């Protein structure tokens, strides 16, 4: 298969800083589009993959799965896109297309495993996939999104992961104008959950451990802020919420939030993989038909639906734009939650 070389930014090992490197991209096949990358959001998964925090990282690792760019080439069988169109690529660049999940537009739950935008198994070139910290990417057109022309492109990028990760559970649990939604955590995911739930017409509450975030949360659209460390505030929202989107990325106690769910309410974990501590008390769940659920990103059709919705409602992420060579510093700041609320790399700086 013919390839071409592009500049990229990646890590050579677990402990190495990211640096400039060259990678190979395949020439577009009949079903592919080639995209010049304009902006790439910086997700926590990028950092964890670059540093092998979850194990399984294959080096060199080129992260980035919040990609916005312009199409520079289309394969002969592609009718959905033309050269010059804006395009987005999220966390999924391929899936089997034939399993029950894929047949129902749930590629994120592909039973044969979807191909991640980075650190996935490259079906075309062998080896592993490289993400959006690069000049260009070539992707199967069925896994490419149309990007609304009316939005700030840099601020669209985080919608491709942070946006869809919170949109999918909001839609699955039927959030709408009569819903009462709470969000736990105000970071990249949490701030999108507030904006999207508000856009869907819900009454939105942020749970925060510190009062300092109240003003910011309200500016993002939250109707209320509840300080989760104040028992009286927690008591005041007992039995209130239909859906809680829990974005906390580390082990934490969800029991106090369960009591704030309405009958049949659901707390959805989107930011943390692993065991919960202290253990989950089933009494309030059983006595109120409440659920604790999980959700990961979203399917391609659902991601398109979210982008279209954001175009119509003028919803984008709150971002700080950086140059490519500022990425290592950005990772350090992310570890201290020192970003409001997402870094986005201007890829012209590579
Ligand atoms: Zn991500
Ligand atoms: Zn599948």
Where are the chain's structural domains? 3-160+318-349, 162-294
- Nearest ligand to the CA atom of 113: 2
- Nearest ligand to the CA atom of 98: 2
Residue-level pLDDT at 333: 98
- Nearest ligand to the CA atom of 111: 2
How does pLDDT run across 208-265, given as a tens digit for each residue?
998 999 999 999 999 999 999 999 999 999 999 999 999 999 999 999 999 999 999 9
Strand ordering across the sheet containing 241-246: 224-227, 203-208, 180-184, 241-246, 261-269, 291-294
Task: Please list, residue by residue across 106-134, b when 16 or more beta carbons sit within 10 angstroms of its beta carbon and e when fewer do.
Answer: bbbbbeeebbbbbbbeeebeeebbbbbbb
53: region left, alpha or beta (phi > 0 left; psi from -120 to 50 alpha): alpha
**Is 116:91 a contact under the CB 8 Å cutoff?**
yes
State the distance from the centre of ligand 1 to the C-alpha of 37, rounded, in angstroms: 17
- Of the candidates 146, 61, 129, 148, the one whose C-alpha atom is nearest the C-alpha of residue 91 is 129
State the distance from the centre of ligand 1 to the C-alpha of 9, rounded, in angstroms: 17
- Nearest ligand to the CA atom of 65: 1
State the distance from the centre of ligand 1 to the C-alpha of 325, rounded, in angstroms: 20
- Nearest ligand to the CA atom of 299: 2
Residue-level pLDDT at 210: 86
Distance (Å, rounded) from C-alpha 267 to C-alpha 276? Answer: 13
Provide the Cα torsion 189, 150, 320, 90; round to 10°.
50
Residue-level pLDDT at 158: 98
Residue-level pLDDT at 37: 98
State the distance from the centre of ligand 1 to the C-alpha of 62, rounded, in angstroms: 13
State the distance from the centre of ligand 2 to the C-alpha of 345, rounded, in angstroms: 31
Distance (Å, rounded) from C-alpha 64 to C-alpha 125? Answer: 19
**Is 190:211 a contact under the CB 8 Å cutoff?**
no
Cβ count within 10 A of residue 267: 22
Residue-level pLDDT at 65: 98
State the distance from the centre of ligand 2 to the C-alpha of 144, rounded, in angstroms: 16
How does pLDDT run across 34-75, given as a tens digit for each residue?
999 999 999 999 999 999 999 999 999 999 999 999 999 999
At residue 205, φ and ψ (nearest 5 deg) are: -120, 135
Superfamily (CATH) of domain 162-294: NAD(P)-binding Rossmann-like Domain (3.40.50.720)
Write 321-329 long-range contacts (CB < 8 A, 24+): 321/39, 321/154, 321/345, 321/346, 322/42, 322/346, 323/349, 324/9, 324/20, 324/133, 324/349, 324/350, 325/9, 325/20, 325/349, 327/9, 327/18, 327/42, 327/133, 328/17, 328/18
At residue 231, φ and ψ (nearest 5 deg) are: -60, -40
State the distance from the centre of ligand 2 to the C-alpha of 106, rounded, in angstroms: 8
Which residues, in sequence order, are bridge partners of residue 95? none
- Nearest ligand to the CA atom of 114: 2
Residue-level pLDDT at 61: 98
> The domain 3-160+318-349: what is its CATH number?
3.90.180.10
Peptide bond into 110 cis (omega under 30): no
State the distance from the centre of ligand 1 to the C-alpha of 91, rounded, in angstroms: 7
Segment-wise mean pLDDT, segments of 10 residues, the chain, 350 residues: 97 98 98 98 97 96 98 98 98 98 98 98 97 98 98 98 98 98 97 98 96 94 97 98 97 97 98 94 97 98 98 98 98 96 98
State the distance from the centre of ligand 1 to the C-alpha of 40, rounded, in angstroms: 11
Cβ count within 10 A of residue 21: 16
């Amino acid at each position: 298969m013919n390839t071409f070389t592009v500049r990229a930014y990646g890590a050579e090992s677990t402990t190495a800083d990211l640096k400039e490197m060259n990678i190979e991209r395949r020439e577009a096949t009949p079903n592919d589009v080639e995209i010049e990358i304009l902006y790439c959001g910086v997700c926590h998964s990028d950092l964890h993959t670059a540093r092998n925090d979850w194990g399984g990282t294959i080096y060199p690792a080129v992260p980035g799965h919040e990609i916005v760019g312009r199409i520079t080439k289309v394969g002969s069988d592609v009718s959905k896109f033309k050269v010059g169109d804006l395009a987005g690529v999220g966390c999924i660049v391929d899936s089997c297309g034939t399993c029950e999940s894929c047949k129902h537009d749930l590629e994120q739950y592909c039973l044969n495993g979807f191909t991640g935008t980075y650190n996935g198994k490259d079906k075309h070139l062998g080896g592993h996939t490289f993400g959006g910290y690069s000049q260009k990417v070539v992707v199967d057109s069925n896994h490419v999104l149309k990007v609304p022309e009316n939005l700030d492109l840099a601020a669209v990028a985080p919608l491709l992961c942070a946006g869809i990760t919170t949109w999918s559970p909001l839609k699955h649990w039927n959030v709408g104008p009569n819903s009462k939604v709470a969000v736990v955590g105000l970071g990249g995911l949490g701030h999108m959950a507030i904006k999207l739930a508000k856009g869907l017409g819900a009454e939105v509450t942020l749970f925060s451990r510190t009062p300092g975030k109240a003003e910011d949360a309200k500016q993002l659209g939250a109707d209320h802020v509840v300080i989760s460390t104040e028992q009286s505030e927690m008591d005041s929202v007992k039995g209130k919420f239909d859906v809680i989107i829990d974005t906390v990325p580390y082990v934490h106690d969800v029991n106090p939030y369960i009591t704030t769910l309405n009958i049949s309410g659901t707390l959805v974990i989107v930011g943390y993989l692993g065991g919960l501590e202290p253990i989950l008390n089933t009494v309030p769940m059983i006595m109120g038909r409440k659920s604790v659920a999980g959700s990961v990103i979203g399917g391609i059709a659902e991601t398109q639906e979210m982008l279209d919705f954001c175009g119509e409602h003028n919803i984008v992420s709150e971002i700080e734009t950086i140059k490519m060579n500022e990425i290592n510093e950005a990772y350090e700041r992310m570890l201290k939650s020192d970003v409001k609320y997402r870094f986005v790399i201007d890829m012209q700086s590579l």
